[in-house]
């Protein structure tokens, strides 16, 4: 009886491992975003610097909205279907997508750096305020002043926690999404 149970358990574990391997293989396949362009006159932003074109906000909004439904860590493939995009425009559009998301990634990286610096400063301020609290309690023992300094310390500490543990992960997820869009495989397709 015990041997039968072990056989059934080993068989079940083997099936679970096969399912896990199949799931991992499916995760390696890039997720796909399909973008159909009927009129490419507003594909690029009308503004650029030093001939570094970027995509328009409307196209970027569509791509980002489509990418929200995909895991930020999975690879991405963008299929652009159009009759109107000429062969000589395809490299320009491809570079414009890459430029846009390089800019977005750089901005998010700056925000992450600022987030870390602000967190450290707020944490340091909260520690200093807590030290002041201990001095106030030890020297003066004024209840109202003690409460004010306690509230100040907790506000600074909570803001540091909020920046680091709540806002920072959101920025990291957005960075992963932008990096995926920047590094995505872009395929131009003609449709009938």
Residue 76 falls within a domain, yes or no? yes
Query: For all residues of the chain together, what is the average pLDDT?
Result: 86
pLDDT digits (tens, 9 = 90+) for 3-45: 544 444 454 455 444 444 444 445 568 899 999 999 999 999 9
Alpha carbon separation from 148 to 123, 153, 156 (Å, rounded)? 18, 9, 13
Range of the domain at 49: 28-189
Please report whether residue 4 resides in a domain.
no
CA atoms of 104 and 110, how far apart (whole Å): 10
What is the per-residue pLDDT for 11?
47
Report the SS3 class of residue 78. Answer: strand
pTM value? 0.78
Number of domains present in the structure of the chain: 1
At 2, the pLDDT band (50, 70, 90 cuts) reads very low
Q: Within a domain: residue 37?
A: yes
Collapsing DSSP states into helix, strand and coil, what is residue 43? coil
Assess if residue 125 is contained within a domain.
Answer: yes
């Amino acid at each position: 009886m015990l041997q039968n149970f072990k056989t059934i358990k080993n068989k079940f574990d083997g099936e679970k491992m096969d399912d896990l391997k199949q799931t991992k293989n499916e995760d390696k396949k890039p997720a796909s975003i399909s973008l159909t362009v009927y009129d490419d006159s507003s594909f690029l932003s009308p503004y650029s610097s030093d001939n570094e074109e970027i995509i328009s906000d409307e196209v970027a909004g569509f791509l980002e909205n489509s990418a929200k439904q995909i895991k930020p860590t999975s690879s991405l493939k963008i299929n652009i279907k159009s009759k109107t995009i000429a062969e000589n425009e395809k490299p320009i559009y491809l570079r414009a997508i890459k430029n846009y998301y390089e800019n977005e990634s750089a901005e998010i990286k700056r925000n992450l750096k600022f987030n870390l610096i602000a967190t450290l400063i707020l944490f340091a301020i909260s520690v200093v305020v807590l030290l002041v609290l201990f001095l106030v309690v030890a020297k003066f023992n004024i209840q109202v002043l003690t409460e004010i300094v306690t509230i100040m310390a907790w506000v600074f500490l909570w803001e540091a926690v909020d920046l680091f543990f709540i806002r920072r992960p959101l920025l990291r997820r957005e960075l992963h999404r932008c990096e995926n869009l920047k590094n995505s495989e872009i395929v131009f397709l003609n449709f009938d």
